[in-house]
Chains A and B, each alone.
Chain A
Amino acid sequence: MGKVIVVTSGKGGVGKTTSTAALGAALAQRNEKVAVVDFDVGLRNLDLVMGAERRVVYDLVNVINGDAKLPQALIRDKRLDTLFLLPASQTRDKDALTEEGVERVIGELKRYFDWVICDSPAGIEKGATLAMRHADVAVVVTNPEVSSVRDSDRIIGMLDSKTLKAENGERMEKHLLLTRYDSLRAERGDMLKVDDVLEILSIPLLGIIPESTDVLKASNLGAPVTLSDARSAPAQAYFEAARRLAGEIVPVTVPGEKRGIFGKLFGRKAA
């Protein structure tokens, strides 16, 4: 049975979809079978970030309604044959996702895949609660910024009360993925530091993803950053996080912290 991961945040635009694609591609490069599932019904984007937007025929809602079978809706990645996408639909109907439907689809995915990674919509409404409902592990994506940290705290509370695991009295495994981190600004005292966020949210750290134009480049090209530019700083950070998800013990590196005096004066590394 595969593991179900929800990538969630409360706040919008913090990097859930980017992280779902990057972690999915990183795990698939370890030869594990991965399905990434877009739960953002009405605002699907994972297909674009994965570069599969023109291959979408059926989607999650079609499978739930019985209009399509799961294998018909799954899109195999062109670059990695162990990576699959289940797209969201563009319907405006908010009730398109049903609790029983989601349960059935996740149950089926778990049988075929080692990892089922659910890209949650922002907010705390039905879409977000259904995305987390069947998760074994939660990746809480947070930016080092007050409103994101506050919303993450709220989401952590929901993970501990509204998920199946929580209702069965089990402990929900939660990990913090700190994204868009700028160590220069943190060092200057203009941005919350890793330790600040960790102390406030009290969940273990999965990784620190630097703020980087490589992420934008990757999404322009329609490739997870761990595929398009595997040697870039954000890709390296996502590879590290994926190894930790898979249970390896890897020391956390703060990206860009070892900058010399020139780095400090002039901002970014040349690379």
Chain B
Amino acid sequence: MSILRLFTRSARRSAPAARERLQVLLAHERASTGSDLTAILREEILAVIAKHVQLDGDRVTVKVDRDENVSILEIDVEIPLDAARAA
């Protein structure tokens, strides 16, 4: 084993770091630069929910994730417990 070490530098592997950084970065970039579609959806979804529930504009996130065959639209709405409004 010791002879192998001589040749394979025992430094930390950098590929896993590259992979992780890319996954985080691209999840973010796909959501933000994805298209105007996410912005439009966000506005309209917010408007619909706001008719029934009082909520903060920052608490709605719309993300588009990509798969080989489909895009996944992920909508996250945070509603405070006391915000339910009579419709």
Q: Which residue numbers of A lie inside 8 Å of B, CB to CB?
A: 145-146, 149-150, 153-154, 156-157, 160-161, 186, 188-193, 196, 200, 202-204, 265
Contact = CB atoms under 8 A, between A and B. Distances in A.
B14 A189 contact: yes
B30 A193 contact: no
Given A188-B8, A190-B13, A202-B66, A157 B30 contact: yes
B54 interface: no
Contact of B18 (A153, A157, A160, A192): A192
Interface stretch (B19-27, B55-63, B76-84): B19-27
B7 A265 contact: yes
B18 A146 contact: yes
Contacts of A200: 19, 22-23, 26
Contact of A154 (B4, B8, B29, B35): B29
B86 interface: no
Given A146-B21, A157-B34, A192-B18, A203 B13 contact: no
A153 B27 CA distance: 10
Contacts of A156: 66
Contacts of B22: 146, 149-150, 200
Contacts of A186: 15
Top 6 nearest A-B pairs by Cβ distance? Answer: A189-B13, A196-B19, A189-B15, A146-B18, A202-B68, A153-B26
